[in-house]
């Protein structure tokens, strides 16, 4: 019965956001994939270094990034609150293993000026959405 309900949901979904863990995404594909929390200690998990399972963590990362059909966005933060104190975070070492020609840093993209046409299109879309 639950499977029938899920099939009906899939048919009526249209555009939707799906939140899943890296462990459960094997075999699935999505047009746009966002992977957040790519910090050392989260991916790879801090225990993986002690337990010697770094290769398994790397495999999970590979599975996650290959779920993207059109775009892949990876993010990490500079700090997280832990027990009420802001603790610095460092990017996952796996990010350094990505081919540099495939990486576009958000800081660099933000420094590029917006073209007049793209600005007009953006505000036209906003006006249309508001009406």
pLDDT tens sequence for the chain (131 residues)? 444 555 555 555 667 788 888 888 888 888 999 999 999 999 999 899 899 999 999 999 999 999 999 999 999 998 999 899 999 999 999 999 999 888 888 777 666 777 888 888 888 888 888 77
pLDDT of residue 6: 53
For residue 114, which phi and psi values (nearest 5 degrees)? Answer: -80, 135
Output the CA–CA distances (angstroms, integers) from residue 45 to 33, 49, 98, 104, in the order listed.
Answer: 21, 8, 18, 25
pLDDT of residue 109: 67
pLDDT of residue 11: 59
pLDDT of residue 9: 58
pLDDT of residue 58: 93
Q: 57-88 as b/e, with b when 16 or more CB fall inside 10 Å? A: bbebbeebeebbeeebebebeeeeeeeeeeee
pLDDT of residue 40: 93
pLDDT of residue 66: 92
Provide the 10 A C-beta neighbour count for residue 93: 13
């Amino acid at each position: 019965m639950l499977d029938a309900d899920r099939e009906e949901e899939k048919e009526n979904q249209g555009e939707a956001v799906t939140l899943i863990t890296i462990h459960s995404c094997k075999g699935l594909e999505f047009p746009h994939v966002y992977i957040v929390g790519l910090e050392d200690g989260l991916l790879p998990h801090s225990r993986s270094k002690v337990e010697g399972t770094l290769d398994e963590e790397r495999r999970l990362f590979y599975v996650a990034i290959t779920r993207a059909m059109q775009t892949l966005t990876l993010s990490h933060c500079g700090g997280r609150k832990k027990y009420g104190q802001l603790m610095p975070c460092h990017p996952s070492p796996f990010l350094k293993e990505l081919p540099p020609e495939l990486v576009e840093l958000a800081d660099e993209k933000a420094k590029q000026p917006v073209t007049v046409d793209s600005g007009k299109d953006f505000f036209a879309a906003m006006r249309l959405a508001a009406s």
